[in-house]
């Protein structure tokens, strides 16, 4: 159970880092919507990413509302994103292979049922 929860948390961090790398000006609300989690979860994860030195806060100068922040990936954040990307891709490939094998097995059962 813990491994699955850890993978889920890691996937969320990966998705957040990826979104922030592409769009550092995204609001926490927009991030929560894009990742499909609660605003509180995003707030918690962002604080953790800032505390770990992966993301730094900067004012989003193009926005007239100076309370808006940009979440900028640090070099450590970029390196972490690369490592998370590799692990995410490995997990998704394993899931894909398991699903493909299950589909093939089910298709074989159906095919055998048709010929009997």
CB atoms within 10 A of CB 104: 10
pTM: 0.77
Residue 2 CA to residue 16 CA, distance in Å, equals 21
pLDDT in tens, 86-100: 999 999 999 999 999
Q: Which stretch of 19-28, 52-61, 70-79, 102-111 has the lowest confidence by average pLDDT?
A: 52-61
User: Residue 6 — very low, low, confident or very high, per pLDDT cuts 50/70/90?
Assistant: confident
Q: Are 58 and 69 in contact (CB under 8 A)?
A: yes
More confident site: 43 or 4: 43
pLDDT tens, 48-97? 999 999 999 987 665 555 567 899 999 999 999 999 999 999 999 999 99
Tokens, residue 32 = 């929560």
Radius of gyration, CA atoms only, the chain: 20
Closest listed residue to residue 27, CA positions, set 52, 46, 10, 9? 46
Residue 52 backbone phi and psi in degrees, to 5: -85, 0
């Amino acid at each position: 159970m813990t491994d699955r929860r850890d993978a889920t948390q890691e996937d969320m961090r990966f998705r957040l880092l990826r979104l922030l790398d592409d769009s550092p000006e995204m609001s926490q609300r927009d991030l929560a919507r894009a990742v499909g989690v609660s605003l509180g979860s995003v707030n918690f994860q962002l604080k953790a990413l800032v505390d770990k030195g992966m993301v730094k806060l900067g004012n989003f100068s193009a926005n007239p509302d100076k309370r808006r922040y940009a979440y900028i990936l640090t070099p450590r954040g970029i390196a972490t994103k690369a490592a998370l990307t590799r692990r995410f891709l490995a997990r998704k490939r394993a899931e894909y292979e398991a699903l493909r094998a299950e589909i093939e097995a089910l298709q074989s059962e159906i095919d055998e049922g048709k010929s009997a």
